[in-house]
Amino acid sequence: MRSLACVALLTFLAACATSAPPGGAHGGRGQRVANLQRAAALPWRDGGRCVVREASRPWPVLVERCYPALEHERLKFRDTTGNCAVASAGAAAVGVGLCVLAAPEIAVGAVIVLGVVVVAVAIKEALDAYELRHGSPEEAGAARGAKVASREGEAKRKPELEPAPAGQDRHPPVPPGPVDRPRRASCEPVPVPHRGGDDRHNECADRFPPNRYPGMDVLVGGVHFDALQVGARVLWEIKTHRFDKYSDFIQEQEVEKELNQLGNERRAAAECGYGFVVGVSTDAHKEALEAQDPTLDVVVTGCTR
């Protein structure tokens, strides 16, 4: 029975690998980087060497080949979509984990990593090397914590770097600070120091998504977010207070205040092409927010203060 279940699981993984949409001229390179970024969110026993070796293959194939190299004791898998129930029916628990990880898009909350993930050395080196050779303006700028403009934007603002003769200024005075950037430059994710000094909150923000910039918030569209998820264009706002311990009146006040904040953050994320998720500590908090705005994507992290 177990052998039949394993055959079914491998058949399912093969279908995932062959159904992935074809890339363009740079599809192979883009797939490799996407796989590296996705794998960076996971803990690896071998320092990520298997991932780097297999990164050019479709994600399901990479997962199948490198699954044994994971730190399994730090991972919990939840089949939130139900797609793996049939594929791994009767198989060992490893089949469920392999199936969940191999999905073309991993559902939020399907993979839970225990503890803080430090990007594996081999994966980090491969991503750094890619950024030096081919990095997109957005990703390279984020990694260096500096603004990076498109070639067109650079060309447009080069004349502004040269001082114009007195009395012939064509532009209004530029305030002290960085040179003016193209309009979309504010959508580049820029790591910034955590605000507030709440260690428990910051630890949750680093661990749960997990955060692409551990120990840092991220600034996108002029708005601070608690985390940018590793391997995905998803920004997170984390709430760690014990909402269920508040009185009814305080809960109502808190929800009203949070909805205003979350609305601003979600708009900024959407305008820059990012998803937006709210992480809360308790089911009561999740239910209260969703009762007022069912369109919010709210996840229970279980983080405590």
Residue at 128 is within a domain: no
What is the secondary structure of 195-243 as a DSSP string? Answer: SS--HHHHHHHHHTTTBSSTTEEEEETTEEESEEBTTSSEEEEE--S-G
Among 83, 108, 123, which residue terminates a domain?
A: 123
Residue at 158 is within a domain: no
- Report yes or no: 202 and 186 within 8 Å, Cβ to Cβ: no
Radius of gyration of the chain (CA): 22
pLDDT in tens, the chain (305 residues): 444 344 344 444 444 443 344 443 344 678 888 899 889 989 999 989 999 999 999 988 998 899 999 998 888 888 777 777 644 434 445 577 888 888 777 766 778 888 777 888 888 888 877 776 654 444 444 444 433 333 444 444 444 444 444 444 443 443 443 444 434 447 989 888 887 678 889 889 888 888 998 889 999 988 999 999 988 899 999 999 889 888 999 999 999 999 999 999 999 999 999 999 999 999 999 999 999 999 999 999 988 87
Are 93 and 197 in the same domain? no
Q: Which residues of 138-177 are buried (b: 16+ CB within 10 A; e: fewer)?
A: bbbbbbeeebbbeeebeeeeeeeeeeeeeeeeeeeeeeee
- Report yes or no: 261 and 278 within 8 Å, Cβ to Cβ: no
- Report yes or no: 225 and 235 within 8 Å, Cβ to Cβ: yes
Report in angstroms the alpha-carbon separations of 114 from 18, 26, 150, 217, 238. 31, 35, 38, 20, 17
Closest listed residue to residue 99, CA positions, set 6, 2, 19, 229: 6
The tally of domains found in the chain comes to 2
In sequence order, the 6+-apart residues with CB closer than 8 A to the CB of 170 are 164
Are 38 and 117 in the same domain? yes
Residue at 135 is within a domain: no
Residue at 222 is within a domain: yes
Q: Biggest alpha carbon distance in the chain?
A: 86
Residue at 163 is within a domain: no
Which residue range is the domain that position 90 belongs to?
2-123
Residue at 175 is within a domain: no
Are 193 and 118 in the same domain? no
Report in angstroms the alpha-carbon separations of 60 from 19, 24, 44, 51, 91. 10, 20, 17, 12, 18
Looking at residue 107, its pLDDT comes to 66
Residue at 177 is within a domain: no
Answer positive or negative: Cα dihedral of 261, 228, 292, 280.
negative
Structure tokens at 250: 């305080």
Among 90, 108, 123, which residue terminates a domain?
A: 123
Q: With 0-12 CB in 10 A as exposed, 13-18 as middle and 19+ as buried, what is 84?
A: buried
Looking at residue 172, its pLDDT comes to 40
Residue at 160 is within a domain: no
Are 209 and 287 in the same domain? yes
Among 87, 105, 123, which residue terminates a domain?
A: 123
